[in-house]
């Protein structure tokens, strides 16, 4: 196999992108799931406040998503920019 130098750099960039997004998706998945689960419980205990609780759930999930977005940014940089 005669592999070029540039080739393996691209290969490493793709591997890095895969690692970044793959591992980076674990945390937000677990975290946002927990938020939604407790939101269901909260609304079950107090249905009158469903609007406020849903809004809080979405804000909480958005903040939790942020590290996943960082991982996505790094992955996109590795795929297209470097």
Binding site for another protein (CB under 8 A): 1, 3, 5-6, 8-9, 11-13, 15-35, 37-39, 41-43, 45-46, 49, 52-53, 56-57, 59-61, 63-68, 70-71, 74-75, 77-78, 82
Which stretches within the chain are classed as H helix? Answer: 5-24, 26-45, 50-76
Tell me the closest approach of the beta carbon of residue 23 to another protein, in angstroms: 3
Cα gap 47→71, rounded to integer Å:
36
Tell me the closest approach of the beta carbon of residue 50 to another protein, in angstroms: 9
Range list of β-strands (E), the chain: none
φ, ψ at 10 (rounded to 5°):
-60, -40
């Amino acid at each position: 196999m005669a592999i070029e130098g540039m080739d393996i750099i691209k290969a490493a960039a793709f591997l890095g992108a895969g690692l970044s997004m793959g591992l980076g998706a674990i945390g937000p998945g677990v975290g946002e799931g927990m938020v939604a689960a407790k939101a269901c419980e909260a609304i079950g205990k107090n249905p009158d406040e469903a609007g406020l609780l849903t809004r809080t759930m979405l804000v909480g999930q958005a903040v939790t998503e942020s590290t996943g977005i960082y991982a996505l940014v790094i992955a996109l940089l590795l795929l297209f920019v470097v």
